[in-house]
Amino acid sequence: MTLPKTPSFRLDGKRALVAGASSGIGLACAVALAEAGAEVTVAARRAEALDDLVTQLQAAGHSAKSMVLDVTDVAGTQAAIAENGPFDVLVNSAGLARHTPADDTTEEDFDAVTGLNIKGAYFLTQAVAKGLMEAGKPGSLINISSQMAKVGGLDRAVYSATKHAVEGFTKSMAIEWGKRGIRINTICPTFIVTPLTQSTFDRPERRAWIEDKIKLGRIGEVEDIMGGVVFLASEASSLITGTALMIDGGWTAE
């Protein structure tokens, strides 16, 4: 009998790009990929925050560099990826939320949220995939979506719409690029404690709503995302594409 061998979760020799890496989930994903052996390029608009992160990663013995990037600038993003790629792994954690009741949504807020969460995410993913195709390489592309891609939520009509859209283009891209060995998936977290979500947790009635909906009885931490991103980036998930990894504490189970 020949025993099967567990595929490796290691990312040694892989180049990873993490957009939205200056804080929160993106920062945690960058740390996770670096710990798994990847050479990580951290990208965001805030150069100082990126430099601090790179310094800490390098001090811990990891390979890391920074790239100032605004993914809403499509031409600039395409040029930066073409110049610095190809990247074997993409984690797109750049995102924006402006929560209001649906009848109070302004056109400005709608355009800002959709411009980053849909348009920016789409063309960043496209740019990394094109780099892989030109190099004839496989890859794993991961968009940080949300449990709100599967359900609705209070004051979240626009945000939820953008994450539903991310799930849609992820599935279509997976169909188109699968034969090239390019996998693309999403991670759908529940409410995670980050600077982006702190204002929600500061509202007692919203915090009570969240705690009631999460079946495991606790609010998410960024560490809850780290294992999932390494799994999807690695060969351990080599037959997984076009799907969503729910890290929601059971929120969407009902």
- Interval 125-182: pLDDT, tens: 999 999 999 999 999 999 999 999 999 988 999 999 999 999 999 999 999 999 999 9
Residue 132: per-residue pLDDT: 98
CATH number of the domain bearing residue 109: 3.40.50.720
| Domain contains 183 | yes
**Amino acid at position 4, single letter:** P
Residue pair 29/245 in contact (Cβ under 8 Å)? The answer is: no
| Domain contains 144 | yes
| Domain contains 37 | yes
The reply to whether 159 belongs to the active site is yes
Cα–Cα distances (Å) from 136 to 81, 92, 173, in that order, read 16, 22, 17
The strand ranges marked E within 146-190 are: 182-189
Residue 231 belongs to domain spanning: 15-249
d(CA 174, CA 190): 24
| Domain contains 10 | no
| pTM value > 0.85 | yes
What domain count does the chain have? Answer: 1
The DSSP secondary-structure symbol of 235 reads G
The single residue of 122, 159, 191, 251 carrying the catalytic annotation is 159
Enumerate the β-bridge partners of residue 122.
none
| Domain contains 4 | no
| Domain contains 6 | no
| Domain contains 5 | no
> What does the pLDDT profile of the chain (254 residues) look like in tens digits?
999 999 999 999 999 999 999 999 999 999 999 999 999 999 999 999 999 999 999 999 999 999 999 999 999 999 999 999 999 999 999 998 898 999 999 999 999 999 999 999 999 999 999 999 999 999 999 999 999 999 998 899 999 999 999 999 999 999 999 999 999 999 999 999 888 788 888 888 888 888 999 999 889 999 999 999 999 999 999 999 999 999 999 999 97
| Domain contains 208 | yes
